[in-house]
Amino acid sequence: MERAVDITERLLGFTNVARSEGETSHLEDVARSILPLLADRFKEAGVPLRDELVATQGVKAGASMAGFIITGLLSNALHAVLGMPERMVAIRTGVMPGFSFLEVTDTGCGMAIEDVRRIFTPFFTTKGEWAPKGSPQVSVRGIGLTLAVSQAAATEQGGRIEVQSMQGKGSTFRLLLRFASESPAGPRGP
């Protein structure tokens, strides 16, 4: 019953995430607003968080949607490095043709190829009771909705989330969102 309540509460919260039609944001600004909120969690876990945030072009996504995705990616990265000998998470932003992007890279447990293929499937998770026996991820609670909702929200705005992962070596998640305008103005200054 507790799991059903948790799932319902999260689903209700997620419905607000996708509602950013017509809103724009800058990924580096959203990330900068989130990093202080997560700083204590990273510090308590003894995990350095390297930030390489540079100016990007505004994207077709509201700050709440982008913030939800970024928070989820950073939280997942923190969970992935638990128990690893080398623990580091990096976040960076940039611009490529038509898109601003934000990447979160970790030196965590990584994923098997078959898990990478399913990572955006609702209710798929490699945490908690579905984590490998004896791994630190067994103690992490997860219901497998954050990445599925994040991918759906990004896709709805003409973007996507890509993932590269190697089991035992870490992962990189890249959020790509379309420019809010097609003007060739490029990224704004610092």
Average per-residue pLDDT for the chain: 85
**Hey, what CATH topology would domain 2-112+152-178 get?**
Heat Shock Protein 90 (3.30.565)
**pLDDT at residue 130, as a whole number:** 59
Average pLDDT on 128-147 reads 72
Are β-strands 99-106 and 89-96 bridged in parallel, bridged antiparallel, or unpaired? antiparallel
- The β-bridge partners of 166 are 170
**What whole-number distance in Å separates Cα of residue 114 and Cα of residue 94?**
29
**pLDDT at residue 142, as a whole number:** 72
Phi and psi of 101, rounded to 5°?
-135, 160
Domain ranges for the chain, please list them.
2-112+152-178
Q: Which residue has the higher pLDDT, 143 or 113?
A: 113
Residue of 76, 138, 140 whose CA lies nearest to 108: 76
**pLDDT at residue 19, as a whole number:** 53
Q: What does the CA dihedral 145, 146, 148, 152 come to, rounded to 10 degrees?
A: 130
The answer to which of 10-19, 74-83, 160-169 has the lowest mean pLDDT is 10-19
The answer to which of 28-42, 49-63, 106-120, 127-141 has the lowest mean pLDDT is 127-141
pLDDT tens-digit readout, 22-51: 789 999 999 999 999 999 999 999 999 999
